[in-house]
Amino acid sequence: MPCERKPMRYGHSEGHTEVCFDDSGKFIVTCGNDGDVRIWEGLDDDDPKFITVGEKAYSLALKNGKLVTASSNNTVQIHTFPDGDPDGILTRFTTNATHVVFNSSGSRVAAGSSDFMVKVVEVSDSSQQKTLRGHEAPVLSVTFDPKDDFLASASCDGSVVVWNIEEQSQLISWPVLQKTNDISNAKSLCRLAWQPGTAKFLAVPVETKVHLYERGSWDHVSTLSDDLQTQLINVVAWSPCGQFLAAGSVGGSLTVWDVNSKLCVERYKHEKGFTVCSLAWHPSGSQIVYTDTEGCLGLLDGLTKKAAKDYDDLFDDDDDDRLMDEGLSETNSPVKKPITGDDDDDDDDFLMPATGRVRNRGAILDDENSLDTGSLKLGQDKFGDDDDTGSVVVPAAAPLVPMRPVYEGPMPTAPQKAFQPGSTPAHLTHRFMMWNSVGIVRGYNDEQDNAIDVEFHDTAVHHAMHLTNSLGHTMADLSQEAVLLACPSTDELASKLQCLHFSSWDTNKEWMVDLPEGEDVRALCLGQGWAAVATSALMLRLFSIGGIQREIFSLPGNVVCMVGHGEQLLIVYHRAPGFDGEQALGVQLLQFGRKKRQLINGEPLPLSLQSHLSWLGFTAEGTPCYVDSVGVVRMLNRSLGNTWTPVCNTRETCKSKSDHYWVVGIHENPQQLRCIPCKGSRYPPTLPRPAVAILPFKLPLCQTSTEKGQMEEQFWRSVLFHNHFSFLSSSGYEIDEDGQSQTQKEQQELLMKMFALSCKLEREFRCVELAELMTQNVVTLAIRYASRSRRMALAQRLSEIALEKANQIQEEEPEEQEEEPEYSGVRRTSGLRNVLMGYVQVLGSGKPSSSSGLPRVTNILDNMTSSRKSSPLSRSAGIPSKGPVLKPLAPRPKTKTGFQFWLEENRKSITADQPDLEETDIIKEAMGRFRTLSAEERLVRNTKGFREEGLGHMSSGHEGKVKRSRYFYSTNKAQNSTTLPR
Amino acid sequence: MDSSEVEFLAEKEMVKIIPNFSLDRIYLIGGDLGPFNPGLPVDVPVWLALNLKQRQKCRIVPPAWMDVEKLEEMRELERKEDTFTPVPSPYYMELTKLLLNYASDNIPKADEIRTLVKDIWDTRIAKLRLSADSFISQLEAHAKLDNLTLMEINTIRAFLLDSLNCMYKLRSNLQPGSSKGQFTDY
């Protein structure tokens, strides 16, 4: 009889507690040492109703809307249920009552007391009392005969007595218990129980066994025992059908016997091993509640339902199998099975598949040795007897259901549901369906209105829209071109995808697509010129923005969410079930456009421990990033093999534990994390309109409180947030070159600062490491710094690095330009080396004012300044258009090699010589001529190209800014008001 | 000083707006403003905020003190104390008036705020009159009033100075004249 043990929960303060169900089974009612009776609407009820009945409550009974309690003021009181109004005092004792019970009809109450007396009181008229005297010690427990003739009581004097209520006389007494002088010293509470319905048996817990006495003959007819039951049984309770008997022990074990077969059908262990001091069956017989002496409340669920099902399964089998099956299930009697939690059993858990048959077989293999036919026969015999009385309707095979092994390994986590990043939960009546960098889509779904509002941050994109949501859309995405909406399927209607293509230049601004039957939209997103939809059939469907169906492919798992940006599509899906609160997510990054390819191929998505994905998106520059529920923002690092780097922990800036930041967008340049602070919740309400805040990024490097750590963090953050430039240029977008050179400059400055710091700290090795990260011309500065601070060894090493770097740059060039002939690398290098060595020597010889030194030295510095002027990168600055960050490619000024310079100069002469040449032929011809040039001349050409490319970076950004501000000054003077938009 | 001049000064106060357009940083004599990103809050002077608002280029985020609960607290405090309590902004009256007149749709519970600020204003002006009255009636030479705003000073300045001048004249004529009995038969 497999059933579910619900986790224990706090019920009362420490001490004796009692529990019962109300007549309907709707409420669990408990009383405890704190004097309260609590009425729980279920185990998960966090706010139970309570009735205070006294300083302490010792026992309670509930029937017909009357709650009877034994409290510390020596009375037995009645309260109405569930209202909890006091309804009088039923009886009093000279000391406190220990146990109260109702009879089966609810007309009488019996109470046992520590003053050795048992009283039977009519509920309707408390003056009609019968007192049963005869016990010589406090009464432990009382129970009514369901037919109302007798009453049984147990006492600390060691006896269990059956009384005739009418005659108020002892009928029989069994000295089966241990003698003690008080309840507090009694080892067991010895709660008696009379079989309901037929009233045939009285169950008496005697040490580790339960004795069954037959009504009438008062013979001890049988004993229920369990080999594994080693502790004293505290309480027993009959199931409402009278077929099962549950017992709770001092050591916290719960055992359920089938009385007909005398076999244990269920065995559980209290999770902490506390003493079970009360037990009650649900009126339907499907649940058992229990409480322990620590005041905790527990529940076993699914008892008889499962039993009935297993029984059905058995008889659904083919006739041929039936006998064997019966045999199997009998041999699987849990009496012989090792206790749950035992190591052997754990192994079984993993090996046994879920089907009943195979499980049985597995059990046989385990239990063959201990097969006990004797006990089986006993069960069969008993069945025969019971059949005569007609009280039992269940055949013998039925109760012998196998006990399902309890699995105690890691538990799978519920997979997180699909969601749209930037939306608030769908169950809200007013919600954000999408909040992204383009605008806001709000959904209203209340009595008055079912509508969708679309609003754009930038009204230049489109004016706000108000749509009636007749289809019941639940998902939305918004881009500069269109609004995409989708609804799940209903009974009649298929799942629909609706696109409002507002940027279309024709008159039809809307299209709609029905998904095939049985396929639901789970997630959707918009890119530039395309829309993507992930469906419940693990399918990804691509559409053009105009409504043409495009590629379709299968997803490896259930989609969690996806986002699009430009030509990139990022999909996150469930890879596998996660365990112990983790989610196992996978990520795919695809790129469309001319070269369609998959950039990230289903790699696991790293999440913080015990968290789920809460936001997924691209930075405005097109780098994928995501936020998990713990608040850590991670960004793709394309330069480190597509790894994910944590760039911010939003929880660090939260003031209180329940505050969160709801991320709406990320920008790399300037570095901004745009989010909405939510006080005490995970997402913002639609009203009042939330305001966007900006958080800074911070890489979680060590020791960021120190100057060194700070600079390292700044540097690597700058490097990370600089990656998008190379990505954008490689995928053919125009890039903000000002910004790029600015960040490069910033990085080099940081490196120089770190260099200076390391120099100060006498960490020369570290200096060299830093120099390796520098560009060649900054290394020259570093050399200067080193030689000024009289670190000759360092300067020497740095000059070597500078040479290497110079070589690298020059080696890269010919690779780029493959036509370049074999070059005289040795010569060039040696030439440069001379230059640098000379430089070092000059500085080392104590003449830092280098300009007066060797002409070669001044040459280097001159180059730097002169290249500043001729830099091709310093564009004439205007108002940089601030529109979408992605711009189609403008022909990018390519870095020119020496050959190209030469070609430009000499093109005319070539064309003059041979005017009928095609473009490619001209280049071929030019190549030939270039090769014939002397090595020196080529070197000049090459270095010219190199200078213009390499040295331009440092200065251009600064210059651009100066120019721009000058520009503004003039425009402001001329027409101040026109700079404002209108 | 005219009250419109005080209002002009108040327009220099900074207020947060959420623009719905995008514009790079603008360089003005009074300082640089921006950059303006759609949907991202930015601080601008009130005059610009109102200008943009009137052209429907932005939403104004009301200042933190422009909140019913905070103003109610302030009103209670103002009523309880005999002296002037500190005000949330040196231009609270002007800002309230300007923002509520031009951007009441961006300010939740605009009517209540209007009433509350008016209440505070009335309480303070009443206190001001009362202190002016006691100042004159007790023939004090000087008085010190803390936490007055420019607008409040401005409302009473003209009247108070004129009347003090007038009284001075009267007294200066009266004292030497009393012996002469110049006014006795007036």
pLDDT tens track for A200-233: 888 888 888 888 888 888 888 888 888 777 888 8
The closest of A709, A581, A691, A700 to A652, measured between CA atoms, is: A700
> Is the whole model's pTM more than 0.80, yes or no?
no
What does the pLDDT look like over B84-112, one tens digit per residue?
A: 999 999 999 999 999 999 999 989 899 99
CB contact under 8 A, A980 and B61: no
What ipTM was reported for this prediction? 0.79
At residue A403 the predicted structure's pLDDT band, cuts being 50, 70 and 90, is: low
- In this prediction, residues A235-245 reach a mean pLDDT of 87
What does the pLDDT look like over A589-638, one tens digit per residue?
A: 999 887 888 888 889 999 999 899 999 999 998 999 999 999 999 999 98
Residue A208 is predicted with a pLDDT of 85
Query: Is the pLDDT confidence value at A273 over 90?
Result: no
Residue A447 is predicted with a pLDDT of 79
Query: How many helices, marked H, and strands, marked E, lie in chain B?
Result: 6, 5
Report the DSSP beta bridge partners of residue A213. Answer: A202, A220
Residue B122 is predicted with a pLDDT of 95
The token pair that represents A116 in the structure block: 């050795």
Residue A270 is predicted with a pLDDT of 79
A433 min Cα distance to partner chain B (Å) = 17
Preferred mutation among A436, A441, A456, A459 to probe B, highest tally of B CBs within 10 A: A459
Q: Indicate the DSSP class of residue A185.
A: G
Chain B residue numbers with beta carbons less than 8 Å from the beta carbon of A883 are: 22
CB contact under 8 A, B21 and A981: yes
Orientation of helix A764-773 relative to helix A776-788, angle to 10°: 160
Residues 6+ apart with CB under 8 A from A683: A424, A425, A432, A660, A662
- Identify whether the C-beta of residue A402 lies closer than 8 Å to the C-beta of residue A363: yes
Peptide bond into B35 cis (omega under 30): yes
B54 min Cα distance to partner chain A (Å) = 10
CB contact under 8 A, B26 and A968: yes
DSSP SS3 for A183 = helix
Q: Which of A232-246, A783-797, B116-130 shows the highest mean pLDDT?
A: B116-130
Of B27, B57, B61, the CB nearest to A981: B57
Q: Indicate the DSSP class of residue A137.
A: S
Report the DSSP beta bridge partners of residue A70. Answer: A59, A76
- In this prediction, residues A693-710 reach a mean pLDDT of 92
Residue A329 is predicted with a pLDDT of 42
> What whole-number distance in Å separates Cα of residue A238 and Cα of residue A303?
13
Q: Which of A214-228, A264-278, A521-535, A766-780 shows the highest mean pLDDT?
A: A521-535
- Identify whether the C-beta of residue A563 lies closer than 8 Å to the C-beta of residue A618: yes
Q: Distance of CA A549 to CAs A224, A267, A541, Å?
A: 71, 59, 8
- Identify whether the C-beta of residue A68 lies closer than 8 Å to the C-beta of residue A61: yes
Query: Is the pLDDT confidence value at A656 over 80?
Result: yes
Residue B150 in contact with partner chain A when CB distance is under 8 A: no
B152 vs A817, more confident: B152
CB contact under 8 A, A456 and B38: yes
Report the DSSP beta bridge partners of residue A665. Answer: A674
Preferred mutation among B17, B18, B37 to probe A, highest tally of A CBs within 10 A: B37
Query: Is the pLDDT confidence value at A317 over 50?
Result: no
Query: Is the pLDDT confidence value at A126 over 90?
Result: no
Find the closest chain A residue to B20 by CA distance.
Answer: A458
Query: Is the pLDDT confidence value at A577 over 60?
Result: yes
- In this prediction, residues A175-197 reach a mean pLDDT of 85
Window 851-890 of A: residues touching B by CB (8 A cutoff) are: 879-880, 882-883
Q: Regarding beta strands A496-500 and A483-487, do their DSSP bridges make them parallel or antiparallel, or are they unpaired?
A: antiparallel
- In this prediction, residues A932-955 reach a mean pLDDT of 52
What does the longest C-alpha to C-alpha distance in chain A come to? Answer: 140
The mean-pLDDT minimum among A137-151, A392-406, A717-731 falls in A392-406
Please give the distance of CA A302 from its chain centroid, rounded to a whole number.
29
Residue A71 is predicted with a pLDDT of 85
Residue B43 in contact with partner chain A when CB distance is under 8 A: no
Chain A residue numbers with beta carbons less than 8 Å from the beta carbon of B29 are: 972
| Rounded to 5°, angle at Cα A658 from B39 and B18 | 10
Q: Indicate the DSSP class of residue A875.
A: P
Residue A262 is predicted with a pLDDT of 83
What does the pLDDT look like over A359-369, one tens digit per residue?
A: 444 334 444 44
Percent of chain A topping pLDDT 70: 74
Find the closest chain A residue to B108 by CA distance.
Answer: A688
CB contact under 8 A, B55 and A456: no
CB contact under 8 A, B41 and A882: no
Find the closest chain B residue to A440 by CA distance.
Answer: B39
> What whole-number distance in Å separates Cα of residue A36 and Cα of residue A58?
10
Of A693, A883, A965, the CB nearest to B22: A883
Residue A676 is predicted with a pLDDT of 93
The token pair that represents A373 in the structure block: 């036919």
The mean-pLDDT minimum among A780-789, A884-893, A901-910 falls in A884-893
At residue A520 the predicted structure's pLDDT band, cuts being 50, 70 and 90, is: very high
Chain A residue numbers with beta carbons less than 8 Å from the beta carbon of B48 are: 980
Residues 6+ apart with CB under 8 A from A761: none
**Would you tell me how many other CB atoms lie within 10 Å of the CB of residue A770?**
25
Residue A941 is predicted with a pLDDT of 57
A624 vs A275, more confident: A624
Query: Is the pLDDT confidence value at A85 over 90?
Result: no
The mean-pLDDT minimum among A644-658, A860-874, B73-87 falls in A860-874
B2 min Cα distance to partner chain A (Å) = 27
DSSP SS3 for A281 = strand
Of A691, A979, A982, the CB nearest to B26: A979
**Would you tell me how many other CB atoms lie within 10 Å of the CB of residue A977?**
8
Percent of chain A topping pLDDT 90: 25
A570 vs A53, more confident: A570
Query: Is the pLDDT confidence value at B17 over 90?
Result: yes
Query: Is the pLDDT confidence value at A859 over 80?
Result: no
Residue A940 is predicted with a pLDDT of 57
Residue A445 in contact with partner chain B when CB distance is under 8 A: no
CB contact under 8 A, A980 and B26: yes
- Identify whether the C-beta of residue A19 lies closer than 8 Å to the C-beta of residue A8: no
Give A919: exposed, middle or buried? Use CB within 10 Å, 0-12, 13-18, 19+.
exposed
A578 vs A358, more confident: A578
Find the closest chain A residue to B62 by CA distance.
Answer: A691
What does the pLDDT look like over A430-451, one tens digit per residue?
A: 999 999 999 999 999 887 788 9
Residue A942 is predicted with a pLDDT of 54
> What whole-number distance in Å separates Cα of residue A289 and Cα of residue A239?
12
The closest of A140, A144, A161, A130 to A63, measured between CA atoms, is: A144
Window 457-486 of A: residues touching B by CB (8 A cutoff) are: 457-460
> What whole-number distance in Å separates Cα of residue B30 and Cα of residue B27?
8
Kindly provide the b/e burial profile for residues A739-750, where b requires at least 16 CB atoms within 10 angstroms of the residue's own CB: bbbbbbbebbbb
Rounded mean pLDDT of chain A?
A: 77
CB contact under 8 A, A882 and B57: no
Q: Which of A55-64, A392-401, A518-527, B139-148 shows the highest mean pLDDT?
A: A518-527
At residue A357 the predicted structure's pLDDT band, cuts being 50, 70 and 90, is: very low
Find the closest chain B residue to A694 by CA distance.
Answer: B40
The mean-pLDDT minimum among A257-271, A404-418, A936-950 falls in A936-950
A679 half-sphere exposure, CB direction, 13 A CA radius: 3
Find the closest chain B residue to A976 by CA distance.
Answer: B28
Strands (E), A349-402: none
Query: Is the pLDDT confidence value at A964 over 60?
Result: no
Task: Tell the residue number behind the tokens 């001091």, with chain if given.
Answer: A277
> What whole-number distance in Å separates Cα of residue A741 and Cα of residue A623?
19
Preferred mutation among B16, B17, B18, B22 to probe A, highest tally of A CBs within 10 A: B22
Of A692, A879, A969, the CB nearest to B40: A692
Residue B107 phi, psi (nearest 5)? -115, 115
A460 min Cα distance to partner chain B (Å) = 7
A730 vs A758, more confident: A758
